[in-house]
Structure 1
């Protein structure tokens, strides 16, 4: 609780299978008006590929985790999101409540 609401900006580029867990913990650490950035939000374009698309094994494995995060962020009323199609995609989340 010491760092609750202490950060202006947090950037996450870590194990994709834990992105949603990071979000659950980080949302309380960033100030209202602060931003959390998530790298690899487009995950080699796989997030828009059909389910039966030919994908490399590691891309297919992490794709579901990235999709899960994207869906959770879109439904999170505490944030506004903006997804940037730069590189492999970056999602910026501004905390509004």
Structure 2
């Protein structure tokens, strides 16, 4: 029997009450970001804590993030890395990334972050050309423009070690992936991406209806 809990606002508040351990600096970043026009691009504090838990549970030392925005997920990752760990972070916006840099410095983890501004596809191509980069990453988080998810995933697989984990956000796209009247470029790209990963024998796969839908793919 399949049992599904209806996660209404009251239950979500309860989950946060019994589990959320949001550091003050991350809370400040979240509140500041909530005042921006593109605030919906920010992940929830529960999701940030989940990313931190995954980084620690997998023992990741080298991480990659595609899509930074103001840095909530980036800071969650950097704070969870062990001493000597590092995260390469890719974003198109110098404006939003400046906030991420500022908070990373205040958190004392700026030395763990290699922030690269520009088209992520170009940045990934350049990263793959670096000596020793291919197969050296332990953890990848993808949360950027949906039209390029397939390209980001392919690059991530090349950069990831065997047994490394890729986490992809927004794969359910507020339920729009089920609505065939929705034919915009983002929704159609996500449908194609989801179908592709479903059939990809290079990874072990799980998709969870958590947040806006998360894909977990472990490289075989």
Which band: TM-score by shorter chain? 0.7 to 0.9
TM-score by length of 1: 0.85
| 1:75 Cα offset (Å) | 1.3
Deviation track 1:17-65 (CA, whole Å, cap 9, x = no partner) reads 100011111101111111111000100111122x13xx5xxx8431101
Map of 1:48 onto structure 2: 178
Structure exhibiting the larger radius of gyration computed from Cα positions: 2
After superposing on structure 2, the runs of 4+ consecutive aligned residues of structure 1 that deviate more than 4 Å are none
With the length of structure 2 as denominator, give the TM-score of the two structures. 0.39
Structure 1 position 20 matched with structure 2 position 144: no
**Residue of structure 1 equivalent to 2:213:** 89
1:3 aligns with 2:104: no
Is there any run of 5+ residues in structure 2 with no aligned partner, and where?
A: 1-128
What is the aligned partner in structure 1 of residue 104 from structure 2?
A: none
Residue 69 of structure 1 corresponds to: 193
Q: Give the number of the structure whose residues are more often helix, by fraction.
A: 2
Answer 1 or 2: higher relative contact order, Cα 8 Å, separation at least 6.
1
Paired with 2:137 and 2:160, the residues of 1 have a C-alpha distance of: 5
Residues paired across the two proteins, number: 90
Q: Secondary structure at the match of 2:158?
A: coil
Match of 2:163 among 33, 37, 41: 33
Richer in strand (by share): 1
CA distance in 2 between counterparts of 1:83 and 1:62 reads 18
Unaligned runs of 5+ in 1: none
